[in-house]
Amino acid sequence: MGAALAIVWVISLRTREKPCPGAVTLEFHPPLTERGRYRIELGWEGAPPCRFQVDLPLTGMANGRDKSGCGMAMELKTQVQGGQVSLAGLTFAAAPSHLRLQVKRDAELIYDTPLEPRFAPYATTRVEDKHFCGDRALVLPRCLRGSSACVPFATRCTGPKDCGSTQVCCLTPEWGRDFGPLAASECTSERRCLAHLGRVGCQVDSDCLPGMQCSDSSLAAEFSTPVLVCRNH
């Protein structure tokens, strides 16, 4: 997997000199990668719900369609991994003590969770960031378990029989959280798998290196298909 590239898309920006409203940054883990129309809604007490839509694959500024109630500055962040663009996060210029995030892909609910931002003890000045100055918070909302974007991840392989003759099945749920569900399991070289701390998937002991056995089920809860990995005797 190559290094991620951040691409910024500004949905709306305020340019007038006003008191700093603060800002909340939401990071999606896993990022939203599947094709479709994403309907995103933010809501908190004292403000109308902010609703807008984003289509994947991205098609330019038309992705800001059907935006309502979003009178604040917003910045949608994407990342590119393996040629695939995904939605990685969202920053909006407000500092609510509580809010609710809801994200749907087409008809599927992916996020629907209350959030309580914890703001940094120091404020960001307007000189540092003219659009998102004031109290800042970073929030990592949890996606709905069982949705297509969340754990348990679908498996592309469970052992070397699913891969080429010189490849192993590499299981790395941490990469799935960082780069999307498809990154959680892949056929690759054993060296490359171990280099990013992946686990070698197996079905029988002969799938493992000498001195190892196929008996570790510690990743089972991370995948929708039962998986075993190699471990030392």
Asked if the model's pLDDT at residue 196 lies above 80, the reply is yes
Asked if the model's pLDDT at residue 13 lies above 60, the reply is no
pLDDT score, position 11: 43
- Residue ending a domain, choose from 139, 170, 187: 139
Asked whether residue 15 falls in the same domain as residue 53, the answer is: yes
Q: Whole-model pTM?
A: 0.81
Q: Count the domains in the chain.
A: 2
Asked if the model's pLDDT at residue 10 lies above 60, the reply is no
Asked whether residue 132 falls in the same domain as residue 208, the answer is: no
Asked whether residue 53 falls in the same domain as residue 97, the answer is: yes
Asked whether residue 175 falls in the same domain as residue 223, the answer is: yes
Does some domain include residue 151?
A: no
Asked whether residue 121 falls in the same domain as residue 19, the answer is: yes
Asked whether residue 52 falls in the same domain as residue 129, the answer is: yes
Helix (DSSP H) and strand (DSSP E) numbers for the chain: 2, 14
Asked if the model's pLDDT at residue 3 lies above 70, the reply is no
pLDDT score, position 14: 44
pLDDT score, position 109: 96
Residue 191's domain spans which residues?
A: 160-232
CB-based contacts of 169, cutoff 8 Å, min separation 6? 157, 158, 159, 160, 162, 163, 185, 186, 187, 200, 201, 202
Q: What percentage of the chain reaches a pLDDT higher than 70? A: 90
Name the nearest CA neighbour of 8 among 118, 126, 88: 88
pLDDT class of 200 with cuts at 50, 70, 90 = very high
Asked whether residue 179 falls in the same domain as residue 118, the answer is: no
Does some domain include residue 145?
A: no
Asked whether residue 115 falls in the same domain as residue 182, the answer is: no
Q: Which range, 15-24, 75-84, 219-228, is most confident?
A: 219-228
Asked if the model's pLDDT at residue 217 lies above 60, the reply is yes
Asked whether residue 174 falls in the same domain as residue 70, the answer is: no
SS3 content of the chain, % helix, strand, coil (to 5): 15, 40, 45
